[in-house]
């Protein structure tokens, strides 16, 4: 694959277009493509972050099952789509994530302990450091899309060289906010990369019940800009497609529109969330998707390229384990003032809010704070 945006695979006018894929299902380089020039350090950083994402995911599910965090949205199967796309952004670019994009947020600079604190109910878990260009995660489906477009438009009006990447799932493409956001982006030519992780399921609703369109990427054509479908389990293809989309958003060629809709096709290997039982609406993971594990596939590529061996994998494993252990320890050591829940609700507290605050104080004095955490 060429590294220029003139590559025919990247200019895809047909809604039934071909999916960009650089690796075969076994992790080998496809014979009909030229690999993009990605530095070795970046290739290894993507691998390490994917490995951390997988381990974090396993640990978070375990913590939820033990009652140490609340409901969690697993990411198994999303590692390549999230990690590689986040690596393709420049430092000043913005990321608008959903509740499932833990790996993307980590790559963009968020602390794992902060994410775990949010899952454990600590309010400051949603507070993001000023130097981290990630918005707090959006829970309502697709609501972040118009906001991301507005931020991108504002950046352009102010002459800032920033791109906004907005994550969402296939279910979001059925929401009005999706269409309003993409329409605005096309009309006002905003520097936005719409990144749809199509994992085939919107909770229990399969992809074919979301739309009759052949592809989700093809919907971009209705709004006058490019759509690209990419193999979401192939980190090399995801990285290059996102990098090219961001480059175009920042500096379009004559006649080009800045926005791009990227559809990263993968499969949600686990539940929608830990409050969900996928066995009630599907029979496991189809064989063709079990064979497309993004981590295994990418590790094979790196070993074949001479960039990875058992010793380096062991060292990466040790670093990943240490970082996650440290994050869990720091998150579980966090303590909140229970009365903080009454702050920042109104500019001036209402009489009802003051009554509730007084009642909480009375209960704490009578029973002690330990009574509120019993069973944890």
Q: Which residues carry out catalysis?
A: 268, 272, 281
Backbone φ, ψ for residue 20 (5° rounding): -70, 125
- Neighbouring-strand partners of residue 167: 195
Work out the number of other CB atoms within 10 angstroms of the CB of residue 218: 20
Contacts of 58 (CB under 8 A, 6+ apart): none
Distance CA 351, CA 357 (A): 10
Answer for the pair 282, 201: CB distance below 8 angstroms, yes or no. Answer: yes
- Which residue spans within the chain are E strands per DSSP? 94-96, 164-169, 192-198, 201-202, 205-206, 226-231, 260-265
SS3 218: helix
Going 344 to 346 to 349 to 350, the CA torsion angle's sign is negative
* Closest-CA residue to 151 (of 132, 140, 172, 166): 166
Distance CA 234, CA 228 (A): 14
CA separation for the pair 275, 286 (Å, rounded): 22
Asked whether 36 and 1 are in contact (CB, 8 A), the reply is: yes
Q: Which of 178-199 are b and which e, b meaning 16 or more Cβ less than 10 Å from the residue's Cβ? A: bbebbebbbebbbbbbbbbbbb
């Amino acid at each position: 694959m060429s590294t220029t945006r003139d590559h025919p695979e990247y200019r895809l006018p047909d809604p039934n277009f071909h999916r960009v894929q650089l690796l075969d299902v076994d992790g080998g380089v496809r014979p009909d493509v030229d690999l993009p020039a990605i530095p070795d350090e970046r290739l290894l950083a993507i691998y390490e972050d994917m490995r951390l994402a997988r381990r974090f995911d396993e640990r978070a599910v375990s913590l939820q099952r033990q009652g140490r965090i609340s409901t969690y949205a697993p990411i198994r199967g999303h590692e390549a789509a999230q990690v590689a796309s986040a690596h393709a952004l420049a430092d000043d670019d913005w990321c608008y994530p959903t509740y499932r994009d833990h790996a993307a947020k980590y790559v963009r600079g968020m602390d794992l302990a902060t994410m775990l604190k949010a899952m454990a109910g600590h309010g400051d878990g949603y507070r993001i450091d000023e130097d981290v260009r990630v918005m707090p995660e959006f829970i309502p489906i697709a609501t972040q899309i118009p906001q991301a477009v507005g931020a991108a438009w504002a950046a352009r009006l102010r002459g800032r060289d920033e791109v906004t990447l907005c994550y969402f799932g296939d279910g979001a493409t059925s929401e009005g906010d999706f269409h309003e956001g993409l329409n605005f982006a096309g009309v006002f030519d905003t520097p936005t990369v719409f990144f749809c992780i199509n994992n085939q399921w919107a909770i229990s609703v399969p992809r074919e019940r979301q739309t009759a369109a052949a592809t989700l990427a093809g919907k971009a054509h209705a709004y006058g800009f490019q759509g690209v479908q990419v193999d979401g389990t192939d980190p090399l293809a995801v990285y290059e497609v996102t990098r090219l989309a961001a480059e175009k958003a920042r500096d379009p060629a004559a006649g080009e529109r800045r926005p791009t809709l990227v559809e990263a096709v993968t499969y949600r290997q686990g539940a929608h969330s830990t409050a969900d039982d996928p066995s009630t609406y599907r029979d496991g993971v189809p064989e063709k998707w079990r064979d497309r594990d993004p981590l295994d596939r990418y590790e094979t590529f790196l070993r074949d390229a001479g960039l990875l061996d058992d010793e380096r994998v062991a060292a990466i494993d040790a670093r990943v384990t240490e970082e996650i252990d440290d994050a869990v320890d720091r998150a579980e050591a966090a303590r909140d003032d229970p009365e903080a829940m009454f702050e920042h609700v109104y500019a001036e507290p209402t009489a009802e809010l003051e009554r509730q605050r007084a009642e909480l104080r009375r209960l704490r004095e009578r029973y002690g704070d330990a009574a509120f955490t019993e069973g944890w």
